[in-house]
Amino acid sequence: MLVYPVLGVGEVNALKISKNQTGVVLVFVLLMLVLLSVMAGSFSNSMRGGASIIHNKKSQLHKQEFVNAGVAYAEYMMTQPVGNQRWLATGVAYKINFSSELIEINIYDEAGKFNINQLDKLMLLGVLKSVVADTLQAGRLTDSILDWIDADDDVRENGAERMVDSHQQAAGTSKDEEYRPANRPFRHLAELMLVKGMTDAIYKNLRPLLTVQAIKKLDLGVATKQVLTLLSEVFGVGESWVQQIISGRLAVEDQGFIPYEMREYATIKTSQRGRWVDVSITLSRAGNKRSVTNVLMRRNAGGAFPLFVEIDRRLVSG
């Protein structure tokens, strides 16, 4: 006959307490495991973020070094004796390999560009039509740019002076969010991005054509083929005129016929030639990523050292 032990009341209560304590400990352990997992995940994300920041910073420093190398090499090549060795500031693409990096360098003489602050509607519209497929869009941008430059608040047909559109007013737009043209000449081309209707793509295409330097008349002798073609289309002189101007550069003195109507905007040679140059550095990265940096430089008069002084540097893309 089996005899089962009989537990007293105190022993039964002690057993219940022991089981309850075990449950509490189990819950506590589970909570600690969850907390540790969260902390470990947070630490891992933090480390990955830190590594990403370090990688990006390192990449930026390398990019800066390559841009500096490209600018220094361009300065050197622009001061070579006259001949095939000298790099010309006519927008020609020069390519070099530096530490296994392909660097493309385009040099533009600011004297060969249109001074955006002096262009009338006819010429400015021609410039915009050369980079904007939509004629209406080109017209709107033309008037908006002219409204940005002029000192008054009179709105042109397709222009834009200080305003808040009806949708913004309905949403309670503050004064800080109003569209406010400067009503003064452009001080830097980057201000074009503030003009109503301007896009990144249009701005990038306009950069090789325009300048804010005090150029009275465009110098055909250093203008790019793109600028010459634009002029030929506006004044209807044809491609043969473009080739004539380019061929005339091979002569001791620049030669070329300038149509009467064009003489208001261009001349064959100016004293400002070579005073300012815009050096465009393009770096081709892995995965076909391209980085474009434009460096504006002024040449010191009389061959004073340094020969070139950097005025401005802008990352255009990448």
Structure confidence by residue, pLDDT tens digits, 177-234: 677 888 899 999 999 999 999 999 999 899 999 999 999 999 999 999 999 999 999 9
The 3-state DSSP class for residue 257 equals: coil
Question: Domain holding 132: CATH number?
Answer: 1.10.40.60
Count of domains forming the chain: 1
Query: Has this prediction a pTM greater than 0.85?
Result: no
The answer, yes or no, to whether residue 90 has pLDDT greater than 80, is yes
Query: In the predicted model, is pLDDT for residue 6 greater than 70?
Result: no
The mean pLDDT value for 112-140 works out to 95
Q: Does residue 307 register a pLDDT over 90?
A: no
**Is 178 inside a domain boundary?**
yes
Q: Which two tokens stand for residue 137?
A: 């869009």
Q: Tell me how far apart the alpha carbons of residues 247 and 272 are, in angstroms, rounded to a whole number.
A: 21
Name residue 112's amino acid. Answer: G
pLDDT, position 23? 66
Q: What is the pLDDT of residue 121?
A: 94
Q: How far apart are CA 297 and CA 311, in angstroms?
A: 5
| Residue-level pLDDT at 22 | 66
> Is 240 inside a domain boundary?
no
Q: How far, in Å, CA of 92 to CA of 74, rounded?
A: 12
Question: Does 30 fall in a domain?
Answer: no
What pLDDT, on a 0 to 100 scale, did the predictor assign at position 168? 46
Give a yes or no: residue 143 inside a domain: yes
pLDDT, mean of residues 35-39: 80
Which has the higher per-residue pLDDT, 93 or 176? 93
Q: Provide the β-strand partners of residue 297.
A: 277, 310
Best mean pLDDT range from 27-36, 44-53, 173-182: 27-36
pLDDT(38) > 90: no
**Mean pLDDT of all residues in 127-148:** 94
Domain that holds residue 192: 117-208
Give phi and psi for 308, each to the nearest 5: -125, 140
Residues 211, 110: contact at Cβ < 8 Å? yes
Q: What is the mean pLDDT of residues 68-85?
A: 87
Asked whether residue 2 is assigned to any structural domain, the reply reads: no
